[in-house]
Every structure is written in structure tokens, then in C-alpha cells.
Amino acid sequence: MDLVKGAAAFIAWLSGSLAALAGILYAFGYLVTLSNLYSLGLDPLVMSFDPLFYLQRGSRFVLYVARLVFERLLDPLVLLVLVVPVFLLLRRFFGERLHAQRLGQAFGRVRAGAGAWRGLMFAALLLLLFWQMLPTYGNLTNLLTISNLLFEPCGRGAAAGDAGTLDLCKALIQRTANPADADKLRTQFLFALFFFLEAAFVFYLAWRLSAGWKLRLLLVSPFAVVFAMILVSLPMIFAIVALSNEFSTVRVMAVAGEPAIEGDFYLLNKTAQAFVLWDARGERILWLPVGKLEQVQIGQKRPIPLAGAGKAE
């Protein structure tokens, strides 16, 4: 009986965990897709994607972040594995008791003035939040103003933005042909990722330092808001600088009752009712009902050509 109850509890926990994970991946995938469509200048209301599409894009975002963190932290982890045993040997050689006694005295002095130190450290975190983190967040999210890349070179937002945003916009257009531009965009996302980790660490410190204070929730709320804003912005920045704008190529062979449509088409979306295509030559979106299409040939995925490609220098 206990075994059955344990198995039932485990299944319930596993189901809840999988549902929560699916919800998180869906939310990430939705933000990625929304930002991607906005940057290209496409109306999200025209598109209707399957929930599995959002889950797939959310999974790509999470795996991309995990790979970046692993690549950047691999060397420090190897160094830590080498340093920790040496530290333990030295600690044992010089005497564990003396070491512990000195540490105890040091922490005792800190605890004696804990209230004042906590107040000063919390004030320092507030200064960091308003003087460094908020301006950095504003500069970082200038990327999210880039839009209309299919119709206008460097989009509307970048044309009115600062020089750094304009430079990144040009890199977006040229990244397929120029590996240096792709590296520049990857570095930009890496900066956003480490800024998110900084915000998470500062939020954690603020929560710990304010333990026991009557106005704890009020004092920590600015850190929570900034952390939430960066968390939401991170998948949207990923969609612009890291997500490849590749779509399946399409050749329309025959349309019932209409002359053949010729052009370079890319499959933006397909529903049970229609094909939504991008006409690269005419720079227009075509909505073709499934009932009128007699023959359609879908090819491999290719980067969709952006406006001004090859002219962004």
C-alpha cells in the first residue's frame, strides 16, 4: 500500500512538474515568436501557430542559453576543480583549528554591527539598481525597437535609434554573409544573458539583506520588477540577434481559376484554411486559400532576404 501511495505521489509530482515546464517553454516560445515577427514587420494577427510550435521555439531558446552558459563557465569550473583540492590540502596542512578560530572571530565582528552593515549594503544595491542597471537595461532593449526589416533597410526603430542600435541592425542584415556580424550579435546576446544573471544575483542579495524588516516586500519590489523585465526581454532579444530567420521555400505550381503565380515565396505560416507566403520579389504577403491551390512544392529552409541586404555597409 505504501508503495502504491508513493508511486501515485511521484506521478502527481511528475505531472505537475511537466505541466509547469511546458507552460514556461510555451511562454518563452510565444515571446520569441512575437519579437521575431515584430522585427520582420509581420503582423502577429495574420499568423496562427500550433502550441507545439511555441514549445519548440521555447526549447530552442532554453538550449541556446544552456549551451552559452556551459561554454563560458567550463573553464572556471575546471579551474575550480583544480583549486579546491589544493585549498583543502593547504587548510589541513596549516591547521584546521586555527583557521576556524580566526574565521569565527571575523564573523563575530561582522555580526556585532550587522544592522548597520545590512542597511549600508542595501543602500549600495539601490544605487547599483538606479545608476547602473536601469540605464543598461534601457540601452539593451533598444534592440527591441528594430522592426520592419523585410520592408525597410535597418527598419523603422533602428533608423531613429542610437548609433549602436543602427550598427547592430546592419549586422542583422549582413549576418548570413558575414561571420563577423554573426559573432557581434552573439556577443550582444551574451551580454544580455550575463546582465540577467547580475539582476538575479542582486535580487537575491536584496531579499537576503532585508530579512526581518517590516517593509521588506516594498523595499525589494524594485529589484523584483527589474528582474522580471529582464527575464521577459531575454527571449525577445534572442529572437532578434540569435534566431535564424529561415523559412521553407515554396513554389506555387497551379492555382484553380487563376493564372500561375510566379516568384520567390517563403512559407510564413500554414493553417488548415490557407498558406501564408512572403513574396520576396514583390515584398508582399500572400494569403492563398487551400481550396484554390492545386499543386504546391515546398522546398528546404533558407534565410529570408531582408531589405537592404548587400547594401548595409
Asked if 197 and 79 touch (Cβ cutoff 8 Å), the reply is: no
Residue 279: give the domain boundaries: 246-303
Between 118 and 76, residue with greater pLDDT: 118
Q: Work out how many domains the chain is built from and give that number.
A: 2
241, 267, 285: which is the final residue of a domain? Answer: 241
The verdict on 279 and 200 lying in the same domain is no
- State how far the Cα of 40 lies from the Cα of 150, in Å rounded to an integer: 5
- State how far the Cα of 217 lies from the Cα of 186, in Å rounded to an integer: 36
The verdict on 143 and 166 lying in the same domain is yes
66-98: pLDDT as tens digits: 888 887 766 665 555 565 565 566 556 555 544
Percent of the chain topping pLDDT 70: 73
Between 5 and 136, residue with greater pLDDT: 136
Mean pLDDT of 7-13: 67
Between 245 and 98, residue with greater pLDDT: 245
Cell of 15: 505531472
- State how far the Cα of 25 lies from the Cα of 175, in Å rounded to an integer: 27
241, 267, 294: which is the final residue of a domain? Answer: 241
Which pLDDT score, from 0 to 100, does residue 107 have?
Answer: 47
φ, ψ of residue 271 to 5 degrees: the values are -120, 180
- State how far the Cα of 167 lies from the Cα of 160, in Å rounded to an integer: 12
Identify whether 155 is part of a domain: yes
Between 16 and 149, residue with greater pLDDT: 149
DSSP run (H or E) holding 111? helix 96-112
Identify whether 21 is part of a domain: no
232 contacts: CB under 8 Å, gap ≥ 6 = 31
The verdict on 219 and 272 lying in the same domain is no
Q: What one-letter code names the amino acid at 168?
A: L
Q: Provide the pLDDT confidence category of residue 240 given band limits of 50, 70 and 90.
A: confident
Which pLDDT score, from 0 to 100, does residue 27 have?
Answer: 93
Which pLDDT score, from 0 to 100, does residue 93 have?
Answer: 58
The verdict on 132 and 179 lying in the same domain is yes
Burial of 230 (0-12, 13-18, 19+ CB in 10 A): buried
pLDDT at residue 229 greater than cutoff 50: yes
Between 169 and 218, residue with greater pLDDT: 218
pTM > 0.85:
no
Identify whether 138 is part of a domain: yes
Q: Mean pLDDT in the chain?
A: 78
Identify whether 124 is part of a domain: yes
The verdict on 227 and 258 lying in the same domain is no
Q: How many CB atoms lie within 10 A of CB 177?
A: 11
241, 257, 280: which is the final residue of a domain? Answer: 241
Q: Provide the pLDDT confidence category of residue 284 given band limits of 50, 70 and 90.
A: confident
Identify whether 278 is part of a domain: yes
Between 280 and 135, residue with greater pLDDT: 135
Looking at the chain, the number of H-run helices and the number of E-run strands are 9, 5
**Residue whose entry in the numeric block shows the C-alpha cell 550598427:** 167
Nearest to 28 by CA among 271, 238, 223: 238
Phi-psi region at 289: left, alpha or beta (left = phi > 0; alpha = psi -120 to 50): beta
The verdict on 299 and 183 lying in the same domain is no
The verdict on 217 and 275 lying in the same domain is no
